[in-house]
A and B are shown apart, each in its own frame.
Chain A
Amino acid sequence: KAGVTQTPRYLIKTRGQQVTLSCSPISGHRSVSWYQQTPGQGLQFLFEYFSETQRNKGNFPGRFSGRQFSNSRSEMNVSTLELGDSALYLCASSLWSSGPGSPLHFGNGTRLTVT
């Protein structure tokens, strides 16, 4: 079974631009979560989608948004990029939104660099 696929793998943008990142979950998984990872802050939860609905949102500004499609694929968008948005953005999928039988499976992330 194919794992979580994130595209693109690397991205370089300039301040003020916007960016869209894509995530294809494991087949059959209905929950998709997004995380930001930086050396200083570690892994931080951005938001989670389940059946096309945002279930939870982390403590990030409104410039960060996302959506999920009917096939469970998800995108996240960051508008008006800032230098501090440079990070590894990770997508994770799970069968359900909670429960012990539903561990998260992560993709290899998109490395975003803002100059």
Chain B
Amino acid sequence: DAKTTQPPSMDCAEGRAANLPCNHSTISGNEYVYWYRQIHSQGPQYIIHGLKNNETNEMASLIITEDRKSSTLILPHATLRDTAVYYCIVRPTNFGNEKLTFGTGTRLTIIP
């Protein structure tokens, strides 16, 4: 399985865009990139996923580079409630949920 590398922590000012990078240089062609976040004492929350095209939903945007070796999660207008640990993971399309591996993630702190 492809592994991911994320910075351990980041700060972002409230109201600004938060850009969280993820490196997945060994990703294979059938692996999707997923983003989750976990607020203290809660379960991980699904944010967005994509294969090779940029994706956007009501929570965030996902930008995947053309070579698919890295991606960026963008929270367009960060609020204090976005303070959480963000996980970038890759998931093969032809395997089940047993293949999900969460790394240590990025601890994002939104500064008032």
Total count of chain A residues near the partner, CB < 8 A: 28
Structural contact, B103 and A104, CB atoms closer than 8 A: no
Decide if A42 touches B102 in the complex (CB within 8 Å). yes
* CB–CB A31/B97 < 8 A: yes
The residues of A that contact B92 with a CB separation of less than 8 Å are 98
Q: Give which listed residue, B44, B95, B98, contacts A90 with CB less than 8 A.
A: B44
Q: In the assembled complex, which residues on chain A have CB atoms less than 8 Å from the CB atom of B45?
A: 106
Assembled-state Cα–Cα distance A43/B104 (Å): 9
Known: A56-B98, A98-B94. A103 touches B46 (CB 8 A): yes
CA separation between A48 and B44, bound complex, in Å? 17
Residues of chain A with a CB closer than 8 A to B49's CB: 100, 103
Tell me the residues in window 74-112 of chain A with beta carbons closer than 8 Å to chain B beta carbons.
90, 92, 94, 97-100, 103-109, 111
**Contacting A104 at CB < 8 Å: which of B93, B95, B97?**
B97
B contact residues around A98 at 8 Å (CB): 92-97
Which B-chain residue is minimally distant from A47 (CB atoms)?
B98
Across the interface, name the chain B residue whose C-beta is closest to A55.
Answer: B96
Instruction: Count chain B residues whose beta carbon lies closer than 8 angstroms to a beta carbon of A.
Output: 24
Q: Does A33 make an interface contact (CB < 8 A)?
A: yes
Q: Which A residues are in CB contact (< 8 Å) with B42? A: 108-109
Pair A58/B98 contact, Cβ less than 8 Å: yes
- A-B residue pairs in contact (CB < 8 Å), sample of 24: A4-B43, A6-B43, A31-B97, A33-B97, A45-B97, A48-B96, A48-B97, A55-B98, A56-B96, A56-B98, A58-B98, A90-B44, A92-B43, A92-B97, A100-B49, A100-B93, A103-B46, A104-B44, A104-B46, A104-B100, A105-B46, A106-B36, A108-B42, A109-B43
List 7 tightest A-B contacts by C-beta distance, closest first: A106-B43, A56-B98, A43-B102, A98-B96, A97-B96, A33-B97, A103-B46
Further 18 A-B residue pairs, CB within 8 A, beyond A42-B103, A104-B44, A104-B100: A42-B102, A45-B97, A48-B97, A55-B98, A56-B96, A58-B98, A92-B44, A94-B97, A98-B92, A98-B93, A104-B97, A105-B46, A106-B43, A106-B44, A106-B46, A108-B41, A108-B42, A111-B41
